[in-house]
Amino acid sequence: MTLKEAVLKSLEDINNITNYLAVLNHIVDKNYYDFGGAKTPSSTISAILGDFIRNGDTRVKRIKQNGGTYSYYLTKNEQNIGIEILSGDTDNQSAKPIKINKSKTYDERDLHKLLSSYLKNTDTYSKTIFHEQSNGKDNNQIWTHPDMVGIKFLNLQTKASQNFLKSINRIDTFKLSSYELKREINSDSELKKAFFQAVSNSSWANYGYLVAFEFSDSLNEEMARLNQSFGIGIIQLNANPYQSKVLYPSIFRDLDFKTIDKLCKMNKEFERFIEQTEKLMTANEKYVTGVEKELDEFCDNYFVNDTEVENYCIEKYIPVNEV
């Protein structure tokens, strides 16, 4: 059998969540594959397991363990594995985590530039809303403030169609979005807390999204259920922002102007974002380019090339193609 087949066979035999070292040991013990003089068979197994995930192969899933490592299992064996293990709510004793340098890891705010770059690629202007700059010290502000806001203008090609739409309903010329960001979501309880935080702080917007750099594969069904029930979209962010994916789309809602007014009173940056949006919408045609540039400069920075992305991820310790 091929090495890939040996990995799948070992996962089937183990019939539980396991790590790449245990898979390697099983292959060797069962003599499923001859590594010959290979110097780093463990790295090869790790890469193959990671390829299953990156390539969207539905036969294999993974969950994140304490310590930052991953455990893998066959999808068809999922029913044989305890739900408390798949949800990440208990430690898995069979997987021995590899120690990582906890002092060298990325912060949630480091993901904002990745998201702003992804959004800019979809013609969406985005802005971080800093909770700490809001009026008052209410701990419940996390249930009111979005982490980031975005606006996308309808791109009509002719001046006649643009003017016609504005004369009918100016609100239809743009869409506002709200984004709740998390580093990683590994358990059912983490998912529900983050999701309903996104529900709460996006009630004002046309679209609401929960965004995370890492989601446990075992949460797919629950994410689909929550998305269908509440309409909040889910985006998986990638170290290459242009490879980020909308896992579940957001459902359109009308703007809540009372909540927008409340947020404007609470946070000056949010108020300025709304002001800049209104300024662009009402600008005279000869001033549109200048006002659009002003909005772009006010919004979050974004990457202009792949080299910037790579250097940023290295500087912020954001994992690239982590297996």
3 state SS for 72-141: EEEHHHHHHCCHHHHCCCCCCCCCCCCCCCCCCCCCHHHHHHHHHHHHHCCCEEEEECCHHHCCCCCHHH
Q: Domain check: are 143 and 239 in the same one?
A: yes
Q: Is residue 91 a part of any domain in this protein?
A: no
Question: Which among 39, 40, 42, 82 is positioned nearest to 63, based on CA atoms?
Answer: 82
Domain that holds residue 271: 108-316
Q: Domain check: are 39 and 70 in the same one?
A: yes
Q: Is residue 100 a part of any domain in this protein?
A: no
At 39-55, the pLDDT tens digits run 788 889 988 998 888 88
- How far apart (Å, rounded) are the C-alpha atoms in residues 250 and 201? 14
Residue pLDDT tens, the chain, 323 long: 889 999 999 999 998 889 999 999 999 999 999 888 787 888 899 889 988 888 878 888 888 877 677 889 888 887 777 665 555 544 443 434 333 344 568 899 999 999 999 999 888 999 999 987 777 655 556 667 899 999 998 764 456 655 655 555 555 678 999 999 999 999 999 999 999 999 999 999 999 999 999 999 889 999 999 999 999 999 999 988 988 999 999 999 999 999 999 999 999 999 999 999 888 888 777 887 898 899 999 999 999 888 888 899 989 989 875 44
Q: Tell me how far apart the terminal alpha carbons of the chain are, to the nearest angstrom.
A: 23
Query: Tokens at residue 266, please?
Result: 């609470």
Contacts with 161 (C-beta within 8 Å, 6 or more apart), sequence order: none
Q: Domain check: are 181 and 294 in the same one?
A: yes
Q: Is residue 188 a part of any domain in this protein?
A: yes
Question: Which among 308, 319, 288 is positioned nearest to 113, based on CA atoms?
Answer: 308
Q: Is residue 323 a part of any domain in this protein?
A: no
- How far apart (Å, rounded) are the C-alpha atoms in residues 41 and 170? 61
Would you state the pLDDT for residue 127? 96
**Count of domains observed in the chain:** 2
Would you state the pLDDT for residue 170? 57
Whether residue 114 contacts residue 237, with contact meaning beta carbons closer than 8 Å, is answered with yes
Phi, psi of 216 (to 5 degrees): -70, 135
Q: Domain check: are 62 and 142 in the same one?
A: no
Q: Domain check: are 39 and 159 in the same one?
A: no
Would you state the pLDDT for residue 84? 54
pTM of the model: 0.70
Whether residue 199 contacts residue 228, with contact meaning beta carbons closer than 8 Å, is answered with no
At 117-172, the pLDDT tens digits run 999 988 899 999 998 777 765 555 666 789 999 999 876 445 665 565 555 555 56
Q: Domain check: are 138 and 50 in the same one?
A: no
Helices and strands in the chain, H and E counts: 12, 8
Handedness of CA 254, 258, 262, 265 (dihedral sign): positive
Phi, psi of 280 (to 5 degrees): -70, -40
